[in-house]
Chains A and B, each alone.
Chain A
Amino acid sequence: MDDLDWKRPALIGGLISGILSAVPWVNFLNVCLCLWAWIGGIVAAKLLVGRAYRIVTAKDGAKIGLYSGLIAGAIVLLITMPLTLWQMDRALQSMIIIMKSSPEAQSFYVRIQDNPTLKTMFSFIIAFVNSVLVLGFTVLGGLLGVALFEKRRDQPPPPQYSPGYPPPCPPNYPPPSAPSAPSAPSAPSAPSTPSADNPSHYPSQSGGSGGDQGGGPQG
């Protein structure tokens, strides 16, 4: 699973998701089903797909979403906790408005407002829950991002080469002088048709002017 570049997409997705979910006013868009977290996950998945040379699976989407979400969750926890504590009165006021039909509940929130310990504890719970929610929705964003941007799954898979292919060249190939080899290739340096299909499968050989075997199976 280390064949993909996880770090950069996870970092960028996590920063988008975390900072935009934590900055006041900007984080207002999160009321749309945690929109910034979705966007962070989708961006991370898009970057991962763009950098991958193989098909990115749904599992990879969940994984990049999780990595981004962990970064975003940490950012949200760090930024949101002091902010929540600072804005607790406003949050409690909104709760009082929601609970307008219950004077008993309203008086409970007023009591929290007057108790600093309870207020701190409450703000930590809220910040923690927020960071977990951002993490969860970033994972979902990663999954949807792969579903949206990974287009290669509709194409046939590339040909699979066996581990021993292409066969290694003999140690003395090309021979220094070919005295009697009528059936041997006429000239090792004679270029065959350049094979464009996945040259990375061919290990680079030292002094390898004769590395290209023609691109077809031998024998």
Chain B
Amino acid sequence: MIVYAALMALSILWMALVLAAPWLMAERHFLASAAIYQGFSAVCHQAPERSFYFHGYPMGVCSRCASIYAGFIIGLALYPFLRDLREDGFPPRWILISAAIPTVIDFTVGVLGLFANTFFSRALTGILFGTVAAFYITPGLVSTLNDWLIAFEKPKADG
């Protein structure tokens, strides 16, 4: 449970960083804000016209990425109600593939110019994918961190 709480805290911290970039900019902490913006530039195009705004500035990542991260937190919050935290297995993989398909379609048709995707479509498909992905990522992270915690506590107990 501690490991799960730590994972949840880490995810919220990650989302907070996405929000911190524009907030720090609005508060005129330019260097800190720029470091976060540039850090996230490695994982997102950060196009202002495709980003949600916070305090008058674009978020650290685009609307699709922000939605995936938000979805991951939602999935993480739902996880203990739907699955046992001690279980080291995944749900069937077709669920993950099915959840990724809307995002892939929304992205592809946008790139091909078949129709322009919207903030709503990007947010909806991103949240869906992020929520489902949490159910595949959480078991491994929880069990790995749990093992590390036990390995870390064992020498202390022996000593």
Residue of B nearest to A31 (CB): B45
Determine if B35 and A125 form an interchain contact, defined as CB atoms under 8 angstroms apart.
Answer: yes
B129-156, CB under 8 A of A: which get 1 and which 0?
A: 0000100110111011001000000000
B88 CB contacts on chain A under 8 angstroms: 57-59
Determine, out of A3-11, A99-107, A177-185, A193-201, the stretch whose residues face the partner at the interface. A99-107
Q: Interface of chain B, helix or strand or loop or mixed?
A: helix
Are A122 and B43 in touch, CB under 8 angstroms?
no
Q: Which of A79-127 contact B (CB under 8 A)?
A: 91, 94-95, 97-102, 104-105, 108-109, 112, 122, 125-126
- Minimum Cβ distance to chain A for residue B100 (Å): 10
Select A129's contact among B31, B39, B44, B107, beta carbons within 8 Å: B39
Interface of A is mostly: helix
Distance between A48 CB and nearest chain B CB, rounded to angstroms: 13
Known contacts A95-B34, A129-B39; is A105 also within 8 Å of B25 by CB? Answer: yes
Q: Is the CB of B141 within 8 A of A148?
A: no
Check B44 against A33 for contact (C-beta < 8 Å): yes
Which of chain B's residues 104-123 have a Cβ closer than 8 Å to chain A?
A: 107
- Docked-complex contact A98 and B89, CB < 8 angstroms: no
Contact yes or no, A31 B44, CB < 8 A = yes
What distance in Å separates the Cβ of B72 from its nearest Cβ neighbour in chain A?
10
In the complex, which of the residues B31, B43, B58, B147 contacts A133, with contact meaning CB atoms closer than 8 Å? Answer: B43
Q: Is the CB of A58 within 8 A of B89?
A: yes
Is B46 an interface residue, CB under 8 A from the partner? yes
CB distance from B91 to the nearest CB of A (A): 8
Q: Are B43 and A137 in contact, with the CB atoms below 8 A?
A: yes
A144 lies within 8 A of B96 (CB):
yes
| A57/B143 in contact, CB under 8 A | yes
Chain A contacts for B44, CB-based, 8 A? 31, 33
State whether A91 and B41 are in contact (beta carbons under 8 Å apart), knowing that A33-B65, A59-B143, A122-B35 are contacts in the complex: yes
Q: Is A49's CB within 8 Å of the partner chain B?
A: no
- Measured in the bound complex, the distance between the Cα atoms of B61 and A30 in whole Å is 13
Q: List the A side residues contacting B56 at CB < 8 Å.
A: 101
Q: Shortest beta-carbon distance, B110 to chain A, in Å? A: 12
B137 close to A144 (CB less than 8 A): yes
- Given the complex, which residues of B lie within 8 Å of A108, measured CB to CB? 30-31, 34
Q: Which A positions have Cβ atoms within 8 angstroms of B? A: 21, 30-34, 57-59, 61-63, 91, 94-95, 97-102, 104-105, 108-109, 112, 122, 125-126, 129-130, 133-134, 137, 139-140, 142-144, 146-148, 153
22 contacts between A and B (CB under 8 A): A33-B44, A58-B88, A58-B143, A58-B144, A59-B88, A59-B143, A95-B37, A97-B48, A98-B37, A99-B25, A104-B30, A105-B33, A108-B31, A122-B35, A126-B39, A126-B41, A129-B38, A144-B133, A144-B136, A146-B90, A148-B93, A153-B89
In the A-B complex, the 5 residue pairs with the smallest Cβ-Cβ separation, listed nearest first, are A58-B140, A129-B39, A31-B45, A130-B42, A62-B144
